[in-house]
Amino acid sequence: MSAKVFLRPRADQDIDEQALYIAAHSSVAMGQRFYDSMQATFNLLATHPSLGTKTHFQNIHLKDTRFFRVKSFEQHILFYKQIPRGLEVIRVVHGARDMEHLF
């Protein structure tokens, strides 16, 4: 059975920003492909929530956070937590970002 995927507002914004950036610097079709890859990644994690690697953030609010690379866009990283109702996506960022300062 698949878990439900919930996006925090910031994660939703991250996805739109990344898709727009990709569309502007590559093509609209590639931006759409990013959205499709996000959905494929959500579907995969919804059925296999433990696939992601556990993070080791010091912030107590980020305890049990995992990360997983976006399918077909491996430079983009999705951060999520398993919650009783499913998965909560916290952020979706490019891997070149400074993760320590991001959270």
The answer on pLDDT for 38 being more than 60 is yes
Average pLDDT across the chain, whole number:
89
Backbone φ and ψ for 93, nearest 5 degrees, come out as -135, 160
Average pLDDT over residues 24-46: 96
pLDDT at 100: 57
pLDDT at 67: 93
- β-pair partners for 77: 69, 93
Average pLDDT over residues 75-87: 93
pTM of the entire structure? 0.88
CATH topology for 4-97?
A: YaeB-like fold (3.30.2310)
Q: Write down the domain spans for the chain.
A: 4-97
Max mean pLDDT range (47-61, 68-82, 85-99): 68-82
